[in-house]
Chain A
Amino acid sequence: MFASIFKKVALAGGMAVATMGTAAYAEYPEKPITMVIPFGAGGSHDLNARVITSVIPTYLNQAMIVRLTPGAGGQKGTQEVANAPADGYTLLFTHNYVDMLQQYVENVPYDPLTDFIPIARVNYAPMGVVVRADSPFETFEDLIAAAEAEPGSIDLSHSGNWGAFFVPAAQIMQARGVQFNLVPYQGGGPALQALLSGDADVTMGFPSTLSGQIEAGDVRILATAGEERMFDDVPTFAEVGVEGDIGFMHRVLVAPAGTPDDVVATLTVAFEQLVEDQTFTRMMGRLNETIELLDGPTYQAMREEQGVAYKALVDELTGQ
């Protein structure tokens, strides 16, 4: 009762964006769509979303409003969308680690595969293994050899446990049977700073955002994710024996399961038009982001594979 009174007060203040959907979606969308981001302001999801939502109204004929709902490592916003009506007016903009990995680490109040369907994978960011330019590790194999010689002696800085830097690092450890000492930092910036200051021996990073440091001769990339080389003289994860969907952060828009097919189709078409939009491509290019659209069914197959791989990883790391 208290809660409902407070809610009225807040609504009177004009602060809330109503998300209660109606059953009528004859001409979806007939009102603004809310895009929930389960992270804080200023992160890469926030910046990507600002670009998406400033262009996509052209193709949806409705506004798309970003709502940041940080908390519980992404679970708060995710749960909110899981509980929202499946009418296409409340969507979640998340990434694969919160989407598919977190369920195995914590008790999450939703089931990713039964509660959500993917609408569009907007882009992905491939990672690299990064060392200082003056590091004794000239190649990826040097690093592995050092870790094998003295397990746990190599400090690897990452952006937080079970996050976008931690998981690929752990997957490399799993694939190559080595042990790094994983040290968490509050974000990718501080993790990189720890590498440069000498607190860490190796870190993970997005090569696209490291071009400045690479050119200045501060850091060296030892391997990059995927099967195609990003740099001519740097091997891929696949070449060094780390195979599979490893080292990619997929930014993906999902909707509550049960969203009607015509709504999904409308959104799918809008995203197909969006990625062709020149303003959109220019703005994303300026943020150094790629655009690699995948539709829902294609990404759903990847999600299912991710789930299997992440479960195996978590089981091994937590010794279950």
Chain B
Amino acid sequence: MLEQFITGFGMAFRVDTFALMAAGLFGGMLVGALPGFTTLLAMAILLPISFFLEPIVGIPFLLGVYKGGIFGGSIPAILVSMPGTGAAVATSRDGYSLTKQGKSRKALDMALCSSVFGDTMSDMFTMVMIFPIAFLVMQFGPPELFAVLLLSLVIIAATSGKNPLKALVMMLFGLWLSFIGTDPLGGVERFTFGIFDLKSGIPLLPMLIGVFAIPEIANVVMKSDKVQKLAAVMGERLTFAEFRRCFRTICRSTVIGTGIGIIPGLGQVVAAMMGYSAAKNASDHPETFGEGELEGIAAAEAANNAVNGPTMVPLLTLGIPGDNVTAILLGAFVAQGLRPGPQLFEEQGATVFAILVAMVFANLLFLIIGYLSIPFFSRIVQIKTSVLVPVVIMFAFAGAYVFRSDNFDLIMLVAFGVFGLVARAGKFDVMPMVMGFILGPPMEYAFGQTMAMGNGEVMQFLFQERLGAIGVLLSIPVIGFMLWRRLNALPAEN
């Protein structure tokens, strides 16, 4: 295996690999920065190109698009409070606060550095531990997934707002919103009032842009006489001392993100929120989180990128794609004559390691590309608001529309924008609502699957075969209570 690794290491050192990876990273970043254009779409469109490249060029190219796209999503989240994916929601809060304070460059730098660190560490961990991870992945089924999702929701509700009760109310509201539409298991319509557009549920992107971006735009517009620019300056770059201050948080989030990446079905959103909650909980100044805390960006970004390494494991070791991104990569692998699966390592071990090594190089390359591009992006804040606001509004509407070209999504955008303004006036935090909305459907699905697996005798099934899930479920009240106690002990929180 070591021999294959060394051969693979040599194979990854190629000029064309680096060149295309760089192109992929840069292109992915630009696409990711446009709300509405998902990385997934960019990868699907570019997939046929990779057919005509060698495996060690074509696959790193697609990986570059993917990695660039994830970071790209945090650019509008930080600069104009417009998260294009659930994974960027946690980043957007502290990021946009820092932008308003004239520190957008620091915020983007921190997002870049912590992303690259989290991703690199998790890729290297994956490379070394690929077979143990493959074993662990198999231990998680629907009952465990349900338990972990429920635990995540409790942690988010307990740690996100200044008032846990209000956070809980918003989360339940978000969960209810996620029930609207066709029930994912039985195909029964719920709360649609016979409206066809509601049949497929409430779309996520218009909700994200509506509740996060529209209130901020309104805020700027209402103060337009005084606000000539979003911020007077884009500020200094990130200093090494600041990075070192957040280093513990970055490491913690990397561990959390890698762990969450191992559990199939959880993904980046949960990782970002758990990393953020853990950092806030461990901090001796949790009140600064959400008000422009660099550590908050570091916590969310390191965690959501650390998911990437382990999510590749089922694809590489079993040939099973866990989500749509890995499904596209599977297409690319197969097209290259590499059949992911148990015998891939025996037959093509060196190539697989070369691809994993290329993933690490992609991170380092991206550190350079990102570092050089950030000054251009952060200049956005210095555009006059009379120009910037209309452009942002246009992107908000275009972003909500382009996902599936549906006017209904624009109505949703405005509705959620108004809702965001009202919630803000009532001092209700919209983040738990969004998290309930995003995590509700997978949790419901896992619940339905568990019921189906139990086939009428669910309790018996769980206690006989699924003690792990029972353990997690029993821990939820304990963890919830501990977090509640801790938050109440902090006077600054209430």
Contact = CB atoms under 8 A, between A and B. Distances in A.
Interface string B322-359: 10111110010011110111111000000000000000
Contacts of A152: 455
A79 B200 CA distance: 12
Contacts of B51: 283, 286
Contacts of B200: 70-73, 75-76
A185 B442 CA distance: 11
B314 to A, nearest CB: 6
Interface in A164-184: 181-184
B404 A76 contact: yes
Contacts of B265: 186, 190
Query: For A10, A42, A71, which residue has the most chain B Cβ atoms within 10 angstroms?
Result: A42
A300 B187 CA distance: 27
Contact of B449 (A3, A12, A184, A288): A184
B343 to A, nearest CB: 5
Contacts of B320: 189-190, 192-193, 196
Interface stretch (A24-32, A47-55, A117-125, A141-149): A47-55
A50 B196 contact: no
A190 B45 CA distance: 24
Interface in B290-344: 314, 318-322, 324-328, 331, 334-337, 339-344
B404 A193 contact: no
B199 interface: yes
B413 to A, nearest CB: 8
Given A6-B397, A161-B186, A186 B48 contact: no
Interface in B130-165: 137-139, 141-142
B319 A181 contact: no
A42 B44 contact: yes
A46 B41 CA distance: 10
Interface stretch (A207-215, A234-242, A257-265, A301-309): A207-215
B448 interface: yes
A40 B141 CA distance: 24
Given A43-B324, A75-B199, A3 B407 contact: yes
Interface string A52-87: 001000000000000111111101100100000000
A153 to B, nearest CB: 8
Interface size classification for chain B? 35 or more
Interface in A1-17: 2-3, 6-7, 9-10, 12-13, 15-17
B441 to A, nearest CB: 10
Given A3-B411, A216-B342, A287 B334 contact: yes
B182 interface: yes
A73 B138 contact: no
A199 interface: yes
B318 A193 contact: yes
Contacts of B196: 72, 79, 109
Contacts, number: 180
B344 A15 contact: no
B47 interface: yes
Contact of B38 (A41, A43, A69, A79): A41
Nearest to B188: A106
A320 interface: no
A12 B445 CA distance: 39
Contacts of A211: 339
Interface string A191-203: 0111011110000
A288 B43 CA distance: 19
B452 A184 contact: yes
User: 9 nearest interchain CB pairs?
Assistant: A212-B341, A71-B200, A42-B324, A216-B342, A13-B398, A286-B335, A6-B410, A72-B200, A3-B407
Given A186-B265, A193-B322, 19 more contacts: A9-B397, A10-B402, A13-B398, A16-B402, A40-B324, A42-B327, A51-B48, A75-B200, A76-B406, A105-B187, A162-B187, A183-B453, A184-B452, A189-B320, A190-B265, A196-B318, A196-B320, A198-B138, A216-B343
22 contacts: A2-B411, A6-B397, A12-B394, A15-B398, A16-B405, A42-B324, A42-B327, A43-B324, A46-B44, A47-B331, A50-B44, A73-B182, A106-B187, A181-B453, A182-B452, A184-B452, A186-B445, A193-B314, A213-B342, A215-B343, A216-B342, A216-B343
